[in-house]
């Protein structure tokens, strides 16, 4: 907590304004966040072109390997996303308690549901004053779990199942994810659901970015800078 002092004009009285900072997100978690964000952007762009390929390029096919590069970028970003997710699960065990909020949603707590409803009303502009949260607010925590955790797992499993087709039977991907295609019915069905999952994550990212910027401007605490430096700054000293 930092104290800033100044003199009131005319009366010589000392005025004290408090500004509180709390260290929330550790460096490995912040690194994972931005690497994952970049991976999702690459996966979304390359995945779109894989589903809707570019027009035929002029000249010999051997001289135009554009779709090959796009597929390679997609596969590489998929590896980064999956490995990063495994690392994120590990950090939930060894990091501070804020690192576990992504996976442990306290739906059993009555107070959590009450705060969730307050956040819904806040985002709908029905509440005048937002609450303060050191970590994720209840609505953000629920959205991150339902959209990102579930979405990332679904996209990783279906993505590696499709990747296994290229590696062939008996490959590591086939041994781990070969059960996915028969579960959905056929390869094209997995392609379709994987493509729909891409839009699921794209919509989540757009909403996530909008709400992060909105909260950084109108709420009583920082958001974007917190994921950069790790510190949550509170903009007033009023109690909740």
49, 127, 199, 224 from 70: Cα distances, Å: 8, 46, 18, 30
pTM of the full predicted structure? Answer: 0.84
115 SS3 class: helix
Once rounded to an integer, what is the mean pLDDT over residues 134-150? 93
* Structure confidence at residue 2 (pLDDT): 39
Mean pLDDT score of the chain: 87
pLDDT band at 16 (very low <50, low <70, confident <90, very high): very low
What average pLDDT score do residues 81-105 get? 94
Q: 178: exposed, middle or buried (C-beta count within 10 Å: 0-12, 13-18, 19+)?
A: middle
C-alpha 161/C-alpha 171 separation (Å) is 11
49-83 per-position pLDDT tens digit: 998 887 776 766 667 788 889 999 999 999 999 99
Tokens at residue 109, please? 């707590």
E strands, the chain, in order: 2-7, 14-19, 21-23, 231-233
Pair of tokens at residue 163: 């990747």
29-33 contacts, C-beta under 8 A, 24 or more apart: 29/88, 29/91, 29/95, 29/98, 29/99, 30/227, 30/228, 30/230, 32/84, 32/87, 32/88, 32/91, 33/227
| 9 pLDDT above the threshold of 50 | no
Question: pLDDT, tens digit, for every residue of 181-229?
Answer: 999 999 999 999 999 999 999 999 999 999 999 988 888 888 888 999 9
Task: State residue 62's pLDDT score.
Answer: 65
Quick one: average pLDDT of 44-53? Answer: 91
Alpha-carbon distance values, 198 to 124, 152, 184, 189, 212 (Å): 26, 10, 17, 14, 21
């Amino acid at each position: 907590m930092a104290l800033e002092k100044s003199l009131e004009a005319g009366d010589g009285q000392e005025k004290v304004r408090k500004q509180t900072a709390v260290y929330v997100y550790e460096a490995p978690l912040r690194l994972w966040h931005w690497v994952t964000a970049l991976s999702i952007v690459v996966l979304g762009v390359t995945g779109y072109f894989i589903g809707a390929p570019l027009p035929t390029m002029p000249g010999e096919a051997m001289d135009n390997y554009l779709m090959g590069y796009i597929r390679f970028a997609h596969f590489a970003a998929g590896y980064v996303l999956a490995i990063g997710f495994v690392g994120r699960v590990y950090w939930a065990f060894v990091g501070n308690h804020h690192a576990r909020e992504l996976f442990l949603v306290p739906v059993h707590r009555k107070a959590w549901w009450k705060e969730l409803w307050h956040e819904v009303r806040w985002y709908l502009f029905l509440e005048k004053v937002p609450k303060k949260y050191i970590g994720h607010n209840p609505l953000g925590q629920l959205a991150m779990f339902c959209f990102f955790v579930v979405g990332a797992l679904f996209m990783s499993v279906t993505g590696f199942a499709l990747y296994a087709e290229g590696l062939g039977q008996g490959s590591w991907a086939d041994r781990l994810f070969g059960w996915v295609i028969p579960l959905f019915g056929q390869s094209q069905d997995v392609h379709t659901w994987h493509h729909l999952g891409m839009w699921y994550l794209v919509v989540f990212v757009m909403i996530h970015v909008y709400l992060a910027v909105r909260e950084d401007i109108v709420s009583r605490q920082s958001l974007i800078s917190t994921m950069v430096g790790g510190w949550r700054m509170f903009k007033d000293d009023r109690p909740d």
